[in-house]
Amino acid sequence: MTPPELDEGLPLEKIKEFSIEELLGMAIKAEIGARRFYESLAERVDITELKEKIEWLAGEEKKHEELLRKIYSNMFPDKEVVFPKEHIGPELQPVARKLHGVQDLIDLIRWAMKAEEIAAKFYAELEGMVESEERKRLMRYLSDMEWGHYYNLKAEYELLLDWEMYSHMMNVGP
């Protein structure tokens, strides 16, 4: 079941139906969504280690948004960013509910992993669509960074599945 924090979006193969401008708009919107998701999640997590990691992810997505805005304004000077209604792949939304227990947290991290994985693949696809070597390089950068996030989340997810061990390791109560 898809939780309220995740809007599944269009499958990756639909990417060919949009212009670079639209895809960049989607990417910027997705980075904003991811940042807000991580910020709101961090507020609801009281395991210091994990909270700090999630805040770090929020900061990373902020930097990606800024980078994408630079690329956009460089490709489409003097144009406001257009955010298409559609988006490719899952888009994260802020966590507005109270989390109950570790299972809610595990579910959200799993969805975040899914979003990071699709984002990584999305940027890899964009690499093939932009023209210059410089822009290709930036897309590879973003794709690699999202893979980095994916594995970082996967590591925490793996441990959270065994809450007894996790809470012992992180020196937190149940």
**Interface with its own copies by CB under 8 A: which residues?**
56, 67, 70, 133-134, 137-138, 140-142, 144-145, 147-152, 154-156, 158-159, 161-162, 165, 169
79 vs 137, which CB is nearer to its own copies? 137
Question: What's the min distance (Å) between Cβ of 96 and its own copies?
Answer: 28
| The amino acid at 28 | I
And the tokens for 73? 């304004």
9 vs 138, which CB is nearer to its own copies? 138
Question: What's the min distance (Å) between Cβ of 150 and its own copies?
Answer: 8
Per-residue DSSP letter, 86: -
9 vs 108, which CB is nearer to its own copies? 108
13 vs 8, 29, 49, 92, 111, CA distance in Å? 14, 19, 37, 19, 20
97 vs 168, which CB is nearer to its own copies? 168
Question: What's the min distance (Å) between Cβ of 115 and its own copies?
Answer: 16
